[in-house]
Amino acid sequence: MVCPRCIETVESVLMEKGFQVRSIKLGEAKVDKEPSAEQMQELSTALQNRGFELLIDKKRQIVDQVKSEVIKLVHHRENEILNVNLSSHLAGLIGADYSSISTLFSSSEGITIEKYTILQKVEKVKELLSYGELTASEIAFKIGYSSAAHLSSQFKKETGMTPGQYKNLKEKERKPLDQIGK
């Protein structure tokens, strides 16, 4: 779950299935009682019908928690990514050492957390370029790049074109955030 509407949808599904919701945050829902196997199947189906996946596997939960946090930092927090040491932040959030988290993420997703973060940043740059309101330097600062040249270099490496070339495209190609890295 990445947005308030997602949280509202999950809360609605849980309440429809008779659960009292104690709390919902990114990737985690706490309810008043332990669901039975049958209830878990019903929840899984109801969530899938709304475009969500029920995560039971702890390793999958950690990977999805990393993804959710990177998306939150890159897409939903203005300039906050500038002040965050991602490895320390993730280790503190998940409660495990970063090397274990990184190894798990890489083996599960086939890319590193750093590469996943870069791909998310590139997608955010595409979004901001599409709006046409900010210069490359302003976008670089907003996303946490050291310079417009660094942003441009990384953008070109990932997309095959410069930010300026992308901005001039008539049909701008974007990926859903949950499909990045696949």
Contact 23, 29 (CB under 8 A): yes
Mean pLDDT of 28-37: 81
Host H or E run for residue 25: strand 21-25
Dihedral, CA of residue 61, residue 65, residue 68 and residue 73, to nearest 10: -170
Q: What is the DSSP letter of 26?
A: T
Task: Label residue 111 by pLDDT band (50, 70, 90).
Answer: very high
φ, ψ dihedrals at 85, nearest 5°? -85, 105
For the 116-179 domain, the top CATH level (class) is mainly alpha
Q: CA-to-CA distance for 21 and 27, rounded, in angstroms?
A: 14
Over pLDDT 90: what percentage of the chain? 37
- 44-96 tens-digit pLDDT: 888 889 888 776 667 888 998 999 899 988 888 765 555 678 999 999 999 99
- The answer to which of 6-20, 44-58, 59-73, 158-172 has the lowest mean pLDDT is 44-58
Both tokens of 87, joined, read: 């490895």
Asked whether the predicted pLDDT for residue 25 surpasses 80, the reply is: no
Q: Which residues sit opposite 21 in a β-bridge?
A: 31
Instruction: Choose among 144, 60, 70: nearest CA to 105.
Output: 60
C-alpha span between 55 and 164 (Å, rounded): 40
Indicate the pLDDT class of residue 1, thresholds 50, 70 and 90.
Answer: very low
Q: How far is Cα 25 from Cα 55, in angstroms, rounded to an integer? A: 14
Rg from Cα positions in the chain: 18
Closest CA to 175 of 162, 159, 163, 161: 159
d(CA 141, CA 52): 33
Full-model pTM: 0.69
Ordered by start, the domain boundaries in the chain are 4-49, 58-111, 116-179
Check the CA dihedral 126-131-137-140 and report its sign: negative
Least confident span in 38-42, 79-83, 115-119, 169-173 = 79-83
pLDDT in tens, 133-147: 999 899 998 888 889
Half-sphere exposure of 99 (CA within 13 A, CB side): 0
pLDDT at 182 > cutoff 90? no
